[in-house]
Amino acid sequence: MESYYEILGGEEAIQKLVDAFYPRVYADPDLSPLFEGDMNEIKRKQKMFLTQFLGGPDLYTQEFGHPAMRYRHLSFEITPTRAEAWLRCMKEAMDEAELEGEVREYFYEKLTQIAHFFVNKTE
Ligand code: HEM
């Protein structure tokens, strides 16, 4: 059975997605104060993570160990506004990368749940 990763378009699709996503994140007034590191490095990590998240090779775990993503986000103040901004950037990036169909809907739905779960501060 094909994984969601393959159905979405594999490596090329995820690369397009992170390439469309991070310039938006770095330009967003609510998110940009948190993103001070090298954009290429965060793109690289996110690409590995999302590949694995969608059922592709477990690239993130091979390099960094257990994702424990909520834990890795605890050092950042994630407010509901920031979660919404992150999701808005992701939706626009999915449009730009031309991700379509039911798998896109499923993927976005999952990311919405996770983004809300990462909220660790009220406004
Ligand atoms: C809810 C809003 C979110 C905010 C404000 C946020 C913010 C951040 C920040 C500031 C970093 C560190 C960037 C750096 O190292 O330069 C980061 C890393 C990361 N985020 Fe998020 N994030 C959010 C949601 C998510 C979601 C929903 C996912 C995926 C399900 C995700 C996946 C990642 C990954 C894979 C990394 C790299 C972790 C590492 O350093 O190994 N983030 N995020």
The pLDDT value recorded for residue 56 is 98
Q: Is the pLDDT of residue 24 over 90?
A: yes
The pLDDT value recorded for residue 90 is 98
Euclidean distance between CA atoms 74 and 77, whole angstroms? 7
The pLDDT value recorded for residue 123 is 85
For a mutational test of ligand 1's pocket, the pick from 28, 42, 81, 107, i.e. the residue with the most ligand atoms closer than 8 A to its C-beta, is 42
Mean pLDDT for the chain overall: 97
Q: Is 115 in the pocket of ligand 1 (CB under 6 A)?
A: yes
Q: Is the pLDDT of residue 103 over 90?
A: yes
pLDDT digits (tens, 9 = 90+) for 41-100: 999 999 999 999 999 999 999 999 999 999 999 999 999 999 999 999 999 999 999 999
Euclidean distance between CA atoms 59 and 103, whole angstroms? 21
* Domain annotation for the chain: domains and CATH numbers: 4-118 (1.10.490.10)
- Tell me if residue 72 falls in helix, strand or coil: helix
What's the 3-state SS for 5-20? HHHHCHHHHHHHHHHH
**Sign of the alpha-carbon torsion through 68, 73, 79, 80:** negative
Tokens representing residue 59 in the block: 């690239």
